[in-house]
Amino acid sequence: MSNGGLPKIVFWADEKAEMINPDLFSTVAEAWAKKIKEVGKIAKDKNKISQIRKFYDEVLLFSDRVKNEDQFKKMLPYLKMLNAKAAYADGRNHITKEFKDFIQDCVSLVNTKKDFDIFVKFFEAFMGFYRYYDELFDRRMRR
């Protein structure tokens, strides 16, 4: 566990055997999505779905452009720039430290195209859970 009880983000159970962490797209993605949504609600107007979606859309854009390892190597510095964008968004009070940490933790694990492909799928799972908790918390607030 890291970041206030959140599970550590680990892409691989066994990288050499190309075995993805079996909890990554379920337990880990859900825990991070729930926590980031909760702290965003407490912090009022932070971690809005539109702000989170900007980061996800950028990752999807990279994913569409990267088809092989050579393209990935050329794109990697721009992917790593997500750290600066997250720090900027945090500094402008658009996101919380927890979402900035999420981006930084994930980006730090991306060193190969295979890592990147897992990151894309992990972010997709995170977004599914985030949307669920976004709607769940909104329903609770309307009661």
Residue 132 belongs to a domain: yes
Confidence of residue 137 (pLDDT cuts 50, 70, 90): confident
Give yes or no for residue 76 having a pLDDT over 70. yes
* 57 inside domain: yes
**Cα–Cα distance, 120 to 117 (Å, whole number):** 5
Domain contains 37: no
> Is the residue at 68 inside a domain?
yes
Please state the rounded mean pLDDT for residues 43-67: 95
Residues in the chain: 143
Per-residue tokens: 70: 């050579």
Q: Which domain covers residue 102, as residue numbers?
A: 46-138
Q: Looking at the domain assignment, is residue 2 inside a domain?
A: no
pLDDT band at 139 (very low <50, low <70, confident <90, very high): confident
pLDDT for 34 equals 96
Task: Specify if 63 maps to a domain.
Answer: yes
Mean pLDDT for 19-39 is 97
Residue 1 has pLDDT above 60, yes or no: no
| Residue 93 maps to a domain | yes
Q: Is residue 98 part of a domain?
A: yes
Q: Specify the pLDDT at position 41.
A: 87
Using the predicted structure, report yes or no on whether residue 87 has a pLDDT greater than 80. yes
8 A C-beta contact, residue 87 and residue 78: no
Domain count, the chain: 1
Model confidence, pTM: 0.93
pLDDT score for 3: 64
Q: What percentage of the chain has pLDDT greater than the value 70?
A: 95
Closest among 89, 122, 96 to 40, alpha carbons compared? 96
Instruction: Return the structure tokens found at 97.
Output: 């430290």
